[in-house]
Chains A and B, each alone.
Chain A
Amino acid sequence: MTGILDIIRKELLINLLSLRFIIGLVVVMLLIGLVGYVLTLDYASRRQAYIAAAEQHSRALEDAKVYSTIKVEMDIPPNPLSLLSRGSKDLPVTITVSPYHVPTILDASGSGATISLDGTGDLPVNPLLRVFSSIDVGFIVGMIMSLFCILLVFDSFSGEKEQGTLRVLLSAPVGRLQLLAGKYCGALLSAATPLTAGLLLLVILWNISGLVTLTPADWLGLACMYAASILYLACFLALGILISLFAEESVTGLVHQLLVWVVAGIVLPAGAGYVAEFLHPILPETELIREADENYGRAYSNVRYQQTEGSWNVAYTDYAGPESFLGITEKEALNRVEYNKIIFPMKFALAEEHFHIRDAVQRSLERREEARNSLDAISPVAAYGRIVRALAGSDIGSYRRTFAAARNYRESLMEYLRPKVATAAWVTRVLDQPELQPTKENMSYWNERAKKEGEDVFLKEWWNWSRVKPLDLSAMPRPNLEVPGLRERLGDALFPCALLMVLTAGFLVMAGWKLLRYPA
């Protein structure tokens, strides 16, 4: 054991004194510092936008005057850990829940064809972005630090052999596996140094700026991300050492390792994406939606609203928009109630149908995602990307759960709204406020006033919407949008973590096997 510690110390010292380490440290620190700074500002603005939107949406609900226009905007609070892994760029910050719309993850992009479930948003627009997703700390560790690991260990054994130091090392009473363990741990400590320094720099930046406040769960998430990053570096180092043992010369080893890096980091994830797209084409969502709308249009025309008696300046609309004025009698309002009982369930059914279509599209995207994940499963870069996105809550799994929560909320909202379907529309509010109806008494009162103040009084006061009282929504269920907690996020990260562990162990076992037969 003491021999291993001596080798670790030696490896660490040699690395720390080397030019490649110093360059790597500076590059990583600079990149993490710069990207961290930019993303911190971005997070601060997203947080501000979230607070403003949440306030505005809450106010909008307080002012609601008719049930047909009730639309609940559920704002997703930005996760501080998304600073480390930004994840999908085209996923929404607000989920709209309304009787006419069942939220799906495809809402953000508007079309299933332009959304990817692998965390890289604008894929089809620019195929290059399929490979390089958001430039964030996860990207720096995933791509830049893996390259740094390669530079650290590409000559781990071949270099010692070329220099002649391997024979001196092996003449000491130290086992070959101990030597491997010492060199590996030394390299891991060396690789962990820039990562640790970079993350510390980031935390200091957050503290100084005061723009990011972490909860204990966030700190724990950050610690998990750090541990996952170390595991990732450990995997790449094990792979690097293994290649170094098979390489006849250090230069050949470096070339092989760069090749493996390109394959693991670029070719496999990108190639898997293309193959998955080919294997699982997306359903023609737009066409199906149009078809559903046409069917609805035909059904709607069969139940077109028939006005029973005259009204003043009433402009009816079929959707959630306000009818112009309230010059409507009780009889006409009751006629409208009967109509509403037919038309609103049809609207709700259309919303459900839209959801089923989009859900099917979502499922086909999920199948594509699964295929992609299986195809690039052996790439440590892809596995690491999944881990950090899951831990940061910026992966598709977290969004899926958030949308599922939003749909659950919609169910309870619909339970509340369905009984009110008859009096959902604007014109039916005259039933609650008889003073708005054009009864004889009301008419004579307002005609008197019009004589004195001019006819504007009808528009400005009597039929003005400001006279309609806001609805009492105290019994309406309120959204409680809980973003997935750390436990759920850890659950999502578990499989790729286990995969990285298996890969690392596999590389190390192979390296040990090779070293025992390695000619000094």
Chain B
Amino acid sequence: MIQAVDLTKRYEDGNLALDHLNLNIQPGQIYCLLGANGAGKTTTINLFFNFIEPTGGTALINGVDCTKDPIGAKRHAAYVSENVMLYGNFTARQNLEFFTRLAGRRELGKEDYYMVMRQVGLPERSFENRVKTFSKGMRQKLGIAIAILKQAPALILDEPTSGLDPKAGAEFMELLTRLRGEGKAILMSTHDIFRAREVADVVGIMKEGVLIMEKSRENLMYEDLEKIYLKYMEV
């Protein structure tokens, strides 16, 4: 569903941000991408959404080339960023409505939006409140609500739990597990080793643009992910 084939990005200043990355995330799978700042996690995500163009290789979502047909590829993927920013003067429902309609779902009514907001755990009283009054946790929930309503088979998240309090983080992970249960292919970049271990089916560690390790849940079962991470970071 989410696939990278020899994906490479070299910036104009010569910096090689991503070097021949190969990924293949299946439906019903959560792939956690770990790595220090500047390891290439966000660059990978940027390439899937055509925010930037690759210098080599291919990024595919549901078999659609993200560079050749970015609009087609984006139809199959939803995006949640580290810090979901929405239109502050719009209410939660108005934001949800705008982005859902933009994703091509125009048949939904107010109740549908309310239902999804309930589902992600937003308090009822906030549905018609302006987003500029929302906490970061509430905005992240609203971001995931947008992603859910898009009904895309692939979900790509860029450090979505960063800055969330433990309760909100746990709720978020619970939501991800539920989405995996629904057959979504999920790619999540994160610094949070513990959350990754908790939910990931596959964990990949990146360093200086290279995927230096990839382990499945089974392989990690009896290993200490923190030690492995630190070991690879030192190499």
Contacts and interface: CB of A to CB of B under 8 A. Distances in A.
Given A14-B89, A167-B79, A171-B78, A519 B52 contact: yes
A31 interface: no
Contacts of A163: 85, 88
Interface in A141-185: 163-165, 167-175
A9 B83 CA distance: 25
B79 A171 contact: yes
For chain A, which range describes its interface: under 10, 10 to 19, 20 to 34, or 35 or more residues? 20 to 34
A520 interface: yes
Interface string B184-200: 00000000000000000
A278 B107 CA distance: 66
B75 interface: yes
Given A13-B90, A175-B71, A168 B84 contact: yes
A164 B83 contact: yes
Contacts of B221: none
Nearest to B98: A10
Nearest to B76: A173
Contact of A6 (B72, B89, B102, B143): B102
Looking at chain A's contact residues, is the secondary structure mostly helix, strand, loop, or mixed?
helix
Nearest to A18: B89
Contacts of A14: 87, 89-90
A14 to B, nearest CB: 6
Interface in B39-81: 46, 49-52, 70-72, 74-75, 77-79, 81
A173 B101 CA distance: 10
A2 interface: yes
Interface residues of B, number: 32
B86 interface: yes
A18 to B, nearest CB: 7
A3 B103 CA distance: 8
Contact of A173 (B51, B71, B98): B71
Contact of B74 (A7, A10, A173): A173
Contact of A164 (B71, B85, B104): B85
A175 B69 CA distance: 10
Interface in B7-43: none
B81 A172 contact: no
Nearest to B53: A517
Interface in A1-26: 2-3, 6-7, 9-10, 13-14, 17-18
A159 to B, nearest CB: 11
A173 B85 contact: no
26 contacts: A2-B106, A3-B102, A6-B102, A9-B98, A10-B90, A13-B94, A17-B89, A18-B89, A163-B85, A164-B81, A164-B84, A165-B86, A167-B81, A168-B79, A168-B86, A168-B143, A169-B102, A170-B50, A172-B74, A172-B99, A174-B102, A175-B70, A519-B51, A519-B52, A520-B51, A520-B52
Interface of B: 46, 49-52, 70-72, 74-75, 77-79, 81, 83-90, 94, 98-99, 101-104, 106, 143, 146
Given A14-B90, A175-B71, A520-B49, 14 more contacts: A2-B101, A2-B104, A6-B98, A6-B102, A164-B85, A167-B81, A168-B86, A170-B49, A171-B77, A171-B78, A172-B102, A174-B71, A519-B51, A520-B46
